[in-house]
Chains A and B, each alone.
Chain A
Amino acid sequence: IAGITQAPTSQILAAGRRMTLRCTQDMRHNAMYWYRQDLGLGLRLIHYSNTAGTTGKGEVPDGYSVSRANTDDFPLTLASAVPSQTSVYFCASSDSASGLSSYNEQFFGPGTRLTVL
C-alpha cells in the first residue's frame, strides 16, 4: 500500500544522545515535512523540503536537522537530545504537481513517539 512509513514507532532515549528518525514515502511527492505534536500545542512544523536537495526551517527548528538526498527519504536528526524534545513526531508529504485539486494536501505517516530522559 502506498504511503509514508516512519521508524522507529517509539523510542526512549537518554539526554545527550544522537537520534535519527526515519521517514520514507513511495508516492513520489516532491515536498516533505516534519512536525512535532505536543498536548495543547497542536502540530508545529520543524523543517520542510520542497524538493530533493532543498530544505527549509519551520516554526521550531532548533535542535533538529534534516537532509533530502532523494525524493523518497527525509530523515530528521536530533544531534544531542534534550527532554524538551519529548514528543510525537509526524512526517508528511505533498505533491503540487498532481493538480489543483490536491494542492498542498498533506499525507501523514503514523508517527514516532520519542521520550528523552
Chain B
Amino acid sequence: AQSVTQLGSHVSVSEGALVLLRCNYSSSVPPYLFWYVQYPNQGLQLLLKYTSAATLVKGINGFEAEFKKSETSFHLTKPSAHMSDAAEYFCAVSSYSGNTPLVFGKGTRLSVIA
C-alpha cells in the first residue's frame, strides 16, 4: 500500500523567505509523485510532478521539488515566498500501474507574513 506523510499541518514564513514543505512517501513500487496547490474556495491544481525522469522537478510559480529515493522524500521548495503563495499544499503518490487513484497527504497550510 502507498502512503504519504506531510510534516507540519501549518507552515508560516515571511515574505521573501525560503519555503520548504516536507513530504515523505511509502511505496513498494516505483512511485509517481505530485504536488497540488489549493487556493481558498477552489479546487486543486497541479504544481509539479515526478514521473521517473529528472529527479529535480520544476513546477509553476517558481516551485520545485527533488525526488530522493534514499530518503523516500519529495520536498517542495521555493527560494522566495510571495504573499500569493498562501494556500494549502498537498503531496500525492501513485504507482506506475495504470489509472491507480492518487493517495494524498493530509495537506500543509502555508501562511506568508508580510
What is the bound-complex CA distance between A4 and B43, given in angstroms? Answer: 10
For B102, list chain A residues within 8 Å (CB).
33, 45, 104, 106
Residues of A bordering B, CB below 8 Å: 4, 30-31, 33, 35, 40-45, 48, 50, 58, 90, 92, 94, 96, 100-101, 103-111
The answer to whether B107 touches A108, judged by C-beta atoms less than 8 angstroms apart, is no
Q: Which residue on chain A has the smallest CB distance to residue B100? A: A104
Residue count of chain B within 8 Å CB distance of chain A: 24
Residues of B bordering A, CB below 8 Å: 9, 32, 34, 36, 42-46, 49, 51, 90, 94, 96, 98-107
Picked from A43, A50, A110, the residue with its CB within 8 Å of the CB of B42 is A110
Question: What secondary structure prevails in chain B residues at the interface with A?
Answer: loop
With A94-B99, A100-B51 in contact, is A108–B44 under 8 Å at CB? yes
The answer to whether B104 touches A105, judged by C-beta atoms less than 8 angstroms apart, is no
Q: Which residue on chain B has the smallest CB distance to residue A32? A: B99
What is the bound-complex CA distance between A42 and B103, given in angstroms? Answer: 10
The answer to whether B46 touches A105, judged by C-beta atoms less than 8 angstroms apart, is yes
The answer to whether B90 touches A42, judged by C-beta atoms less than 8 angstroms apart, is yes
The answer to whether B98 touches A111, judged by C-beta atoms less than 8 angstroms apart, is no
- Given contacts A4-B43, A41-B106, A103-B96, 16 further A-B pairs with CB under 8 A are A33-B102, A42-B105, A42-B106, A43-B90, A43-B107, A100-B51, A101-B51, A104-B99, A104-B102, A105-B34, A106-B46, A106-B102, A108-B36, A108-B45, A110-B43, A111-B42
For A44, list chain B residues within 8 Å (CB).
104
For B94, list chain A residues within 8 Å (CB).
104
The answer to whether A96 touches B98, judged by C-beta atoms less than 8 angstroms apart, is yes
CB distance from A40 to the nearest CB of B (A): 7
With A42-B106, A105-B34 in contact, is A96–B99 under 8 Å at CB? yes
